Amino acid sequence: MDWKEILRRRIATPNTGPNKKKSEQELKDEEMDLFTKYYSEWKGGRKNTNEFYKTIPRFYYRLPAEDEVLLQKLREESRAVFLQRKSRELLDNEELQNLWFLLDKHQTPPMIGEEAMINYENFLKVGEKAGPKCKQFFAAKVFAKLLHTDSYGRISIMQFFNYVMRKVWLHQTRIGLSLYDVAGQGYLRESDLENYILELIPTLPQLDGLEKSFYSFYVCTAVRKFFFFLDPLRTGKIKIQDILACSFLDDLLELRDEELSKESQETNWFSAPSALRVYGQYLNLDKDHNGMLSKEELSRYGTATMTNVFLDRVFQECLTYDGEMDYKTYLDFVLALENRKEPAALQYIFKLLDIENKGYLNVFSLNYFFRVVSENSMMSSEVEFDCILPDNHSAAAGVNAIQELMKIHGQDPVSFQDVKDEIFDMVKPKDPLKISLQDLINSNQGDTVTTILIDLNGFWTYENREALVANDNENSADLDDT
């Protein structure tokens, strides 16, 4: 009989006895005793029928607290032993040379040009002779990945060897980064990555010329690129997997090449010339030499054509100290403006353009920035055409006059409606009245749209793009004639 039914019957039994009637409190106590008894029996029986739950392995281990010094030391030592074991499992230089020798020995003719090939049969033979460390590379799926259009069903020996080298390098780098993972959770904090790059500097020949006094600024410059692009939510930590997946580490380790070209150095954010350029710009902007940038000082950045309303938004949204910007915040600003095609950069600028904090740009937002851009851009056109407004005319008051001047000089007057329509046509948002960040990214026109809204020079260039193209063509024709 079900325990619930037994309990119900016992409670329903008339409360009579040989001596006297039980009190209400006694009835409640008896009811609770019966309930506890039968519930315990039922729960115990259920446990017995589910013994297999005990076989589930433990999947959560609590991290030692700060005051548990012994447990922390034990954890650190065990991680170090684990990483050492993983490091010993990797191929060393001698084993890689032996692998190359075996591959070359078992190549399958005919060669395609100068490229040696190998078929699957010889591929397996090499795998048997290469040793246990190489076993993972000689799987059928690896051969299939590298098999392309060879009519003999072979793969390139060089491509396979490069694949092995890349895998070994990734594992080595993963282990190297994990040594700086103090928390042991698979991510690096800002201080962890700073320590990694600081200790990496002496191994990079291209940074030999850096003075030690500049090391801290170089490390800050290098680390900001990792965190700007790989930590969009600003959590203060980056997954080691994300660091390995991006190309930044390749760019950084490219500085090991002693013969790196000047062009490569200029385009590499981590090179000494690039770091000195960015820091030099910061020092040049800092006119009062207090180590910080005011809004007025930042307005001279680049071509000094950033709009005032955009700069206002920068200082409203970004971290400042008494209304001034430090070097780290400046680096985010530079990375955003120099990489406007990248989603992380567009996210940075979009937050500044979203003045109502609604998560999208509407007509009001666009007009807010366009109004200032167009007024100032037309003032630039005025100078371009050697036309000067009377001294008592403000930019806002002189818009109509400038538009008339632009007409006289063959320039179409700037209309917000036209620019707004062009922006929406370029972006093609899902909602015809709102532009979201994802719309901007998907359109592949985010750099053009943001440039139009925040940069006077960019706006003028966009508005006069046809005339500029025609002028370039004329110049090219003149050069051809000469």
pLDDT digits (tens, 9 = 90+) for 56-102: 777 788 888 888 899 889 988 999 999 999 999 999 999 999 999 99
Q: What is the mean pLDDT of residues 117-127?
A: 95
Tell me what pLDDT residue 369 has. 86
The mean pLDDT value of the chain amounts to 84
Question: Each residue of 426-440: pLDDT tens digit?
Answer: 999 999 999 999 999
Tell me what pLDDT residue 314 has. 96
Tell me what pLDDT residue 40 has. 77
pLDDT above 90 covers a percentage of the chain that reads 59
293 DSSP assignment: B
- Residue 274 · residue 268 · CB < 8 Å: yes
- Write b or e for each residue in 96-122: b if 16 or more Cβ atoms lie within 10 A of its Cβ, otherwise e: bebbeebbeebbbeeeeeeebbbbeeb
Tell me what pLDDT residue 57 has. 79
Show the tokens assigned to 350.
Answer: 């979009």
Q: What is the mean pLDDT of residues 344-348?
A: 96
**pLDDT exceeds 90 at position 10:** no
Tell me what pLDDT residue 426 has. 94
Question: Each residue of 274-298: pLDDT tens digit?
Answer: 999 999 999 999 999 999 999 999 9
**pLDDT exceeds 50 at position 128:** yes
Q: If pLDDT is split at 50, 70 and 90, which confidence band does 305 have? A: confident
Question: Each residue of 443-473: pLDDT tens digit?
Answer: 999 999 999 889 888 777 777 766 655 565 5
Q: Which residue has the tokens 């600024």?
A: 217
Residues in a beta bridge with 19: none
Q: What is the mean pLDDT of residues 215-236?
A: 95
In this prediction the pTM is 0.76
Neighbours of 295 (CB within 10 A): 15
